[in-house]
Amino acid sequence: MKSINKSTILNVIRLQGPLSRAEIAKVTHLTPPTVTNIVSELLREGWVVECELGESTGGRKPILLNINHKAFNVVGVYAGVKTIRVLSADLAGNTGEERLLSVPARPSGKIYADLLIEAVGSVADRIREKGIPLLGIGVGMHGLVDPREGVSRFAPNLPFSDLPLRSILEEKFSVSVEVENDVRARAVGESWFGHGRGADPFICVHVGTGVGAGMMYEGRLLYGPTFTAGELGHTVIDPAGPACGCGNRGCLEAFVSGPATLERVRRRLAAGEASLLRTRMGVDGKLTGPDLTRAAAEGDRLAVEELAETGRCLGIALANLINLLNPRKIILSGGMIAAGDFVLNPLRRTVEERALSTPAKEVSIVVSELGDRAGVIGAFTLVLQKLFEPQQE
Ligand SMILES: [Zn+2]
C-alpha cells in the first residue's frame, strides 16, 4: 500500500463499513475529490467493492463501499520449537488453508528454514490454485527477534542464531515478509480479533515452555531499543529461586513454565510422595501438562498444589506488571493456562492480595479465545496491520 491516504481510507471502510464516499470524507477529513480519486483506484485494484445503496439524505441514494475481503490472502507462520504452523486468511481474517509440520530435535538453521519454506510453499500453492493473490507473509518466531531487520536473533531451545527469516522467505516467495516475536505477534492478533479489541492498553502473557509478554500501548507494541521489552519470563520473583535457562536464578520462567512446573512434580514423586501421577508416567518417566490437569481434576493433591504454586508465582509477576504498567486487560495463553482454574484461581487471589487496589480494580484478567491458533493468527495479522495501519510503525 503506497499512500497513507489509501491505507487510511481502507482502514475506515474496514472498521466502519459499508460507507459512502461522502461518509468516508467526513470521517477521514480528506476532501471529497481526494476520496473519489482514491476510491476509484481502490475499486480498480480490487481492494473495495460497491455493495449496496445507503439511506438517501434527500438526493440520490449513495452507493456504499465495503472491503473486498476475499480478493486477497495473507499467510501467517507460527515458528515454534516443536511445530511450525502455517495458516492463510482473507482480509477479514477468515482462515483458509493450513499446514502443520513437526520440527525435529535441534535442527540446524538450514533445516529449520527449509521446513518453513516447505510449509509456506504448500499453503501458497493452494492459494495460487484458487487464483487469489498473496499479499504478504507474517512470521511469529519465539525468542529474540529484530522485527526491523526481520531476523531471529536468538531462539532458546533451537541451536541457531541470527537466522534472516525475512530475506529467506522474501527471496523464495517474492512477497513482503513481516517477522516478529511470537508473543508480540499474539498481541497484534488479539488487538484485531481477540480480547484486545477496544482494550487499550493491554498485555498478552504467554505461559508455555517459555514465558513472555507482548505489551500494547495506544495501539503500538512496546519494543525498547534492543527489541527485548516483554521478557517477563526473566524477571526475578525470588532471588534464591531455582536456576533459569538464561543463567540467572529465580526467574519467573523457572517457576511457572511447563517444564518448571513438571520438574517440581517429578521431584516430589522422586521423594516418594503419593500421587495418581505415579501411575500416569510413561515408561520413560515422562509427564505432560495435560497429565497434571487431569490428575488435579481427579482430586490429586500433589497436582493441585503444584498447579496452584504456578498460579501463585504467576500472580506475583502479574501484580508487578499491573503496578508498573496499569493495563486495562491481561490476556493469558499457553499450555499452563490451559490448566484452567487450578492455575487461574490462585493467580487471581494473589493478584488481589499483591497488586495495588486502584490499578487492580481496573484490570480484567482473561484467557485468550483464539486457542491453539493464536500464534499463527497473530502472525498473519502482522501483514494486515501493515496494509491497513502503516502509521503504526
Ligand atoms: Zn531467566
Listed by start position, the domains of the chain span 4-67, 73-192+374-392, 197-369
Domain 73-192+374-392 in this protein, CATH class: alpha beta
370 CA to middle of ligand 1, Å? 27
Altogether, the residues listed in the chain come to a count of: 393
Mean pLDDT value across residues 315-334? 97
212 CA to middle of ligand 1, Å? 11
Give the pLDDT band (50/70/90) at residue 306: very high
228 CA to middle of ligand 1, Å? 13
101 CA to middle of ligand 1, Å? 29
Copy the grid coordinates of residue 257.
Answer: 513454565
What angle separates helix 341-354 from helix 301-325, to the nearest 10 degrees?
Answer: 40
Q: How far from 269 is each of 5, 85, 209, 274, CA to CA, in Å?
A: 63, 35, 21, 7
Residues sharing a CB contact under 8 Å with residue 57, sequence separation 6 or more, in sequence order: none
Cβ contact 392:383 at 8 Å = no
Q: What three-state secondary structure class fits 249?
A: strand
Task: Give the residue among 308, 212, 224, 292 at the shortest CA–CA distance from 252.
Answer: 212
Copy the grid coordinates of residue 339.
Answer: 490448566
What is the C-alpha separation between 335 and 91, in angstroms, rounded? Answer: 29
Beta strands in 24-166 (DSSP E): 48-53, 63-67, 73-79, 83-90, 95-102, 134-141, 144-146, 151-154, 161-163
| Domain 197-369 falls under CATH 3.30.420.40 | yes
Give residue-wise pLDDT tens across range 342-392: 999 999 999 999 999 999 999 999 999 998 899 999 999 999 999 998 765
Copy the grid coordinates of residue 131.
Answer: 487464483
The alpha carbon torsion through 151, 156, 157, 161 (nearest 10 deg) reads: 40
What is the C-alpha separation between 1 and 138, in angstroms, rounded? Answer: 16
What is the C-alpha separation between 120 and 100, in angstroms, rounded? Answer: 10
Q: How much is the mean pLDDT over the chain?
A: 94
242 CA to middle of ligand 1, Å? 10
Give residue-wise pLDDT tens across range 267-295: 999 999 999 998 888 777 789 999 999 99
157 CA to middle of ligand 1, Å? 13
Q: Is the pLDDT of residue 264 over 70?
A: yes
Q: Is the pLDDT of residue 177 over 90?
A: yes
44 CA to middle of ligand 1, Å? 53
pLDDT, position 321: 97
Q: How far from 127 is each of 75, 209, 361, CA to CA, in Å?
A: 10, 32, 47
Mean pLDDT value across residues 105-128? 96
pLDDT, position 391: 65
Hey, do 4-67 and 73-192+374-392 end up sharing a CATH topology, with the first three levels equal? no
What's the topology of domain 4-67?
Arc Repressor Mutant, subunit A (1.10.10)
Angular region, 291: left φ>0, alpha ψ -120 to 50, beta rest: alpha
Q: Is the pLDDT of residue 144 over 60?
A: yes
What is the C-alpha separation between 262 and 283, in angstroms, rounded? Answer: 16
